Structure 1
């Protein structure tokens, strides 16, 4: 009677651990994003031109994204070779330590060029850590899931993103009430230092989760690969490219509606920092509530069909968003940003389970990590930079930004259509081969 109990509890425990772990990782990642929009330009890249400082600050933000594919390769290899759990424990430690170190970092005024150099190095460590985190968290939840529930259980790893965003916005909202001198001197550091507490909590929770049963079965059968990444490039590079494109709006949309929107509204619309953070906090709560509902609905409609509808809606969403944001009033701004975020978050919630089902178990960690993190480097890292450039060159005009967002969603839609076609083609080929074998 003792044996069934762990197996019935582990799916829920694995989903909870994926949620808590990714929440902590994304909290760390988002507080950096918020600080990049609010303070890093002034403290670490001082310039007489605010545009130059902001672009330099967002460039360090992008560095973390460019480091993410490296993290995906390293921890994808380790996750497919020695296990998902060990890889995830390491990524959590790396992220927590790097984040606390950012909170202790002296400014440019204190140590000169050493300050931005160290900031970039710590951002690289953050990027490597989160690059290995996502794939492992999705798989630990999805591979523990009951039969037919992969999409819903994998969505708990995705739920960590809005939860981390809510925590990061709460943390920064509490310190932006300080006067500017105190905020720039020490207030902005507090959200980073709090990460030390979250790190301990995350480690304790993850220690209670067993290794993925699908990986354990693969290991018992001695079917693990020595170089899983090489096998991905050999047999699945086309699928990887499609999955990179498919993830676009789920990743880029987050940093467009959060990181870039902070800089855009404070510098071009005249909104105060506290007001836009309040709006984003309200929208983050909406996102947190929408994502599990979207995953539940996708299980009933079918993942591919749901993703096509969500991507199409995302293509249309930036136009009402910008019209309402231009009002500068709280309620219209919340409604406008929420329209875009609901479409994006619905897509983001489901894409993890959909993509993880595309690849076989023996290369799954490497393949989905590579797909997601390369997309993160391109779409996530460059989106705030492209948005800032467009806003600077088309001052007073929001339509170029809306068209840019539509193009991002369009890329995802086209790739989902192609992946769905490939999946049906593969299923047809398997059925034909089975029919021939029967004959």
Structure 2
């Protein structure tokens, strides 16, 4: 049976506008808390972790090591997707959302309490890796549940728009993370390195409490309740996916590759490149990321709405073309060191290289799978793609820069990722305005 043939039976949706609005905004707020926790690590990696959690010596090697711990969070995400996807398809979406936000919050808060390399030696980076792994498990399990709470409730003709709204939690969380780091970056360098960087991690415990309260107020989706009522819950969802649904799974992985590569290069690696190689200020780079996230608050739902009108495939193809064509000019523009050009470059890279596919991907990954496998399938496809490309991209970019002493290999890497996603797009079924099973 093909993917398209499975989508022939409608499931109940929520037609009450007030209820749907509450579901969407509850998912956005909860997801924003998760992304804040995950993304402050990225900023700290580029700005401070290479200085305090690794032995003094070659700055380039320390940066590569710091990006290695950043990658651990992405590599843990498939495990979180497998664990929570399994129980999300067996127990329900709501319960997993409550658990994952607590897992993420605990990992983030404890990072803020960690001693440095100077204080406890090699145990410091080891503990940092363990807690980053815990963060990755939390986010890996959270994303699918948050998306399905909306996708499985919303009207078919608005699934692109409303499904993409969940992804607005990413720029909201990023704005909060950047804002916190911009605030503590105003401290003198010695105080920022000593204790200021810890504040964004420690305050996350308050945000987790808010997010948990919101998520506990949600109801289970109608699609899952229907599965339970008909006794159609699958005993081993992941086994079922790899036995009978390999094509949609690998398609979902491929759809993620280019988007997350651009997110990691433009959002994380560029922070290190601009401040270390180009000698630009932390504030300038953070301003670029801040503006890009602010623009994303509006561009993500716009792209989602457009995908309901022109289709998911057309939007993905357009983003792949941009990603390939902009791979070299992105670094040429950054190398001008002109503040306005640097900010505009970061905004363009994130908006069209990441956010088009990031927003539309939320409903599209979910649409590739039937309800009984949707949490596991969408989560695992999304997170495996994120681990393969997103977690390793800053590490690969730093290694390529050290090897070549130039950015051209990084640009070629981005072009290769765009080609992979373009191929995956050609295999994916068009699901705009089609019923979920």
TM range (shorter): over 0.9
Q: Cα distance, 1:206 vs. partner?
A: 1.1
2:345 alignment counterpart? 336
Conserved? CA contact 2:15–2:155, under 8 Å = no
Matched ranges for 1:183-262 at <5 A: 183-262=192-271
1:125 correspondence with 2:134: yes
1:393 correspondence with 2:426: no
**TM-score when scaled to structure 2?**
0.93
- The 1:141–1:123 alpha-carbon spacing in structure 2 relative to 1, beyond 3 Å, is same
Q: Cα distance, 1:255 vs. partner?
A: 1.0
State how far apart, in whole Å, the 1-side matches of 2:241 and 2:20 are: 27
Conserved? CA contact 1:321–1:333, under 8 Å = no
Q: Is 86-95 or 322-331 further displaced after alignment?
A: 322-331
What per-residue deviation string (whole Å, max 9, x for no partner) do you get for residues 155-199 of structure 1? 122111111111111110101111111001110000001101111
Q: Is 147-156 or 52-61 further displaced after alignment?
A: 147-156
2:381 alignment counterpart? 371
Matched ranges for 1:316-355 at <5 A: 316-343=325-352, 344-355=354-365
Q: Secondary structure at the match of 2:298?
A: helix
What per-residue deviation string (whole Å, max 9, x for no partner) do you get for residues 315-354 of structure 1? 2122332222111122111222222222121121101211
Q: Cα distance, 1:393 vs. partner?
A: 2.3
2:368 alignment counterpart? 358
State how far apart, in whole Å, the 1-side matches of 2:226 and 2:161 are: 22
1:177 alignment counterpart? 186
Conserved? CA contact 1:79–1:366, under 8 Å = yes
Conserved? CA contact 2:14–2:155, under 8 Å = no
State how far apart, in whole Å, the 1-side matches of 2:121 and 2:162 are: 47
Q: Cα distance, 1:68 vs. partner?
A: 0.8
- The 1:212–1:283 alpha-carbon spacing in structure 2 relative to 1, beyond 3 Å, is same
**TM-score when scaled to structure 1?**
0.92
Q: Cα distance, 1:138 vs. partner?
A: 0.9
State how far apart, in whole Å, the 2-side matches of 1:418 and 1:315 are: 19
Conserved? CA contact 2:158–2:305, under 8 Å = no
State how far apart, in whole Å, the 2-side matches of 1:149 and 1:199 are: 29
State how far apart, in whole Å, the 2-side matches of 1:180 and 1:78 are: 45
Q: Is 79-88 or 407-416 further displaced after alignment?
A: 407-416
State how far apart, in whole Å, the 1-side matches of 2:336 and 2:369 are: 46
1:285 correspondence with 2:260: no
State how far apart, in whole Å, the 1-side matches of 2:82 and 2:362 are: 18
Q: Secondary structure at the match of 1:247?
A: helix
State how far apart, in whole Å, the 2-side matches of 1:87 and 1:128 are: 12
Unpaired runs of 5+ residues, structure 2, are: 1-12
- The 1:228–1:300 alpha-carbon spacing in structure 2 relative to 1, beyond 3 Å, is same
Conserved? CA contact 2:15–2:154, under 8 Å = no
Q: Secondary structure at the match of 1:317?
A: helix
1:29 pairs with one of 31, 38, 42 = 38
Q: Is 31-40 or 333-342 further displaced after alignment?
A: 333-342
Q: Cα distance, 1:358 vs. partner?
A: 1.0
State how far apart, in whole Å, the 1-side matches of 2:144 and 2:16 are: 22
State how far apart, in whole Å, the 2-side matches of 1:63 and 1:371 are: 18
Conserved? CA contact 2:288–2:347, under 8 Å = no
Conserved? CA contact 1:317–1:339, under 8 Å = no
Q: Secondary structure at the match of 1:224?
A: coil
Q: Cα distance, 1:148 vs. partner?
A: 2.3
Conserved? CA contact 1:159–1:288, under 8 Å = yes
Matched ranges for 1:263-278 at <5 A: 263-278=272-287
Q: Cα distance, 1:379 vs. partner?
A: 0.3
- The 1:5–1:247 alpha-carbon spacing in structure 2 relative to 1, beyond 3 Å, is closer
Q: Cα distance, 1:8 vs. partner?
A: 4.0
1:430 alignment counterpart? none
State how far apart, in whole Å, the 2-side matches of 1:37 and 1:46 are: 16
Unpaired runs of 5+ residues, structure 1, are: 428-439
Q: Is 344-353 or 360-369 further displaced after alignment?
A: 344-353
Q: Cα distance, 1:31 vs. partner?
A: 0.5
Larger RCO (CA within 8 A; separation ≥ 6): 2
Q: Cα distance, 1:5 vs. partner?
A: 9.8
State how far apart, in whole Å, the 1-side matches of 2:358 and 2:418 are: 11
1:10 correspondence with 2:23: no
1:137 alignment counterpart? 146
What per-residue deviation string (whole Å, max 9, x for no partner) do you get for residues 240-294 of structure 1? 1121011112222111111111011111111121221112111221222211111
Q: Cα distance, 1:381 vs. partner?
A: 0.9
State how far apart, in whole Å, the 1-side matches of 2:291 and 2:66 are: 26
1:381 pairs with one of 369, 378, 391 = 391
